[in-house]
Amino acid sequence: MPLLVQKYGGTSVGSIERIEAVADKVIVYKEQGNDMVIVLSAMSGETNRLMALASEITPKPKGRELDVLLTTGEQVTIALLAMALVKRGYPAKSYTGGQVRIVTDSAHNKARIKSIDNENIRKDLDEGTIVVVAGFQGVDEESNITTLGRGGSDTTGVALAAALEADECQIFTDVDGVYTTDPRVVPNATRLNTITFEEMLEMASLGSKVLQIRAVEFAQKYNVPLRVLSSFKAGEGTLITSEYEAGDIMEQALISGIAFNRDEAQLTVNGVSDTPGIAYKILGPISDANIEVDMILQNVSADGSTDFTFTVHRNDYDAALESLNKTAKELNARVVSGNNRIAKISIVGVGMRSHAGIASRMFELLAKEGINILMISTSEIKVSVVVDEKYLELGVRALHDGFELESES
């Protein structure tokens, strides 16, 4: 019997009515002859509400305790969906991550899945039971509750699909697929029928939160057929594939999508000596403070001194600035400056590999709008620029228009 793993996001289970609607939808697939494993998020807004409760107690809760708190959101929705299914006459059973035994490492708040014991689930499926699993959570080897990072239910869905060798992992959300860019910013963005794993990985890591990065990594690694669909609207959604189907190659756009990220901050230290080891001296303490650095730029001035600029997550800005100020003193740097009002815009597409001039076209389109570029970084299938955050929407729309990504209807 075919097996489907379906994940429903926060908006899709955001109220009792919506949970009842999910139950109806799941039954349709069950009646079509599929074994069903359902992964749920917490109701929309619930994880944020729980985080806010924690921060009323302390600004820095212990990761372990935060995970015990945050996982309650998903425990509510799985129980309610199982009840709704049973009410309709369909055997269903809910499981927390720990009950399945989704084993993760012990990195609280950003744990990685190490193994999944699928024995219970298999037994239930064999008996015709619909299995409902809490997303976003697991337990470590010592049975401490862990969470997988924001958006982590996507990863639970894909990991279960891989462990159970499901025929497809379907991510049901509030949009009907992956678009050329976030349709909330560009309403005439186009839904993509397919996107490659590579492109989806770039889009996700450059800020498109429609899928958690690790979910895409998992799907690629274990070759899980992955589809993004709407909970509210019928349609084929977007299939994430290893390669474009032959027919699509002819029409393949140079740019598949535009991603953006508002969560960045930039730091600069001017006038340090241009000597070996300088990058290490500046970035070593940043990394020791567990701060991830994204883009890095180093410029040697005419006088032989170096200016060094890098970006970090906006939440890490204060800590990074403190560390940099300290280092700057030790290095006799001229000045340290920072800007936490920046944003990153990226264009992504495997078509870039075989076409020159895409980056310069991007710069031209931004220049036409009078948008100043603060930093640039490129890879084989993407170009990213850092701009003042006030230009984010304007920049995304200009690029979307300029690369002709808008839908025709």
Helix/strand/coil for 240: strand
User: Which residues in the 230-269 window bind ligand ADP by CB under 6 A?
Assistant: 257
CB of 156 or CB of 340, closer to Mg ion: 156
The full DSSP string for 17-51 is HHHHHHHHHHHHHHHTT-EEEEEE-PPTTHHHHHH
Q: Is 173 in the site for ligand ASP (CB under 6 A)?
A: no
Q: Is 151 in the site for Mg ion (CB under 5 A)?
A: yes
Distance CA 85, CA 90 (A): 5
Task: For residue 270, give the nearest of 340, 343, 332 by alpha carbon.
Answer: 332
CA distances from 367 to 181, 372, 373, 393 (A): 20, 7, 8, 15
Using the rule CB under 6 A, which residue among 42, 145, 259, 320 binds ligand ASP?
42
Using the rule CB under 6 A, which residue among 41, 118, 268, 306 binds ligand ASP?
41
Q: Is 207 in the site for Mg ion (CB under 5 A)?
A: no
Give the x-and-dash track for 379-398 against ligand ADP (CB under 6 A).
Answer: --------------------
Residue 7 CB, shortest distance to Mg ion, in Å, is 9
Task: For residue 399, give the nearest of 256, 194, 198 by alpha carbon.
Answer: 256
CB of 107 or CB of 376, closer to ligand ASP: 107
CB of 21 or CB of 86, closer to ligand ADP: 21
Q: Is 171 in the site for ligand ASP (CB under 6 A)?
A: no
Distance CA 312, CA 295 (A): 8
CB of 44 or CB of 120, closer to ligand ADP: 44
Helices (H), 246-316: 246-249, 278-288
Give the x-and-dash track for 204-233 against ligand ADP (CB under 6 A).
Answer: ----xxx-----------------------
- Residues 151, 323, 146, CA angle at the centre, nearest 5°? 25
Q: Is 73 in the site for Mg ion (CB under 5 A)?
A: no
Distance CA 204, CA 150 (A): 13
- Would strands 3-8 and 35-40 be described as parallel, antiparallel, or unpaired? parallel
Beta strand residue intervals within 28-110, DSSP E: 35-40, 92-95, 102-104
Rg (CA), the chain: 23
Partner interacting with residue 393 (select from ligand ADP, Mg ion, ligand ASP, none; CB below 5-8 Å by kind): none
Q: Which stretch binds Mg ion (CB under 5 A): 1-9, 63-71, 138-146, 185-193?
A: 1-9
Q: Is 14 in the site for ligand ASP (CB under 6 A)?
A: no
Q: Which stretch binds ligand ADP (CB under 6 A): 180-188, 357-365, 386-394, 399-407?
A: 180-188
Question: Which residues contact ligand ASP (rule: CB under 6 A)?
Answer: 9-10, 41-42, 47, 73, 135-136, 150-154
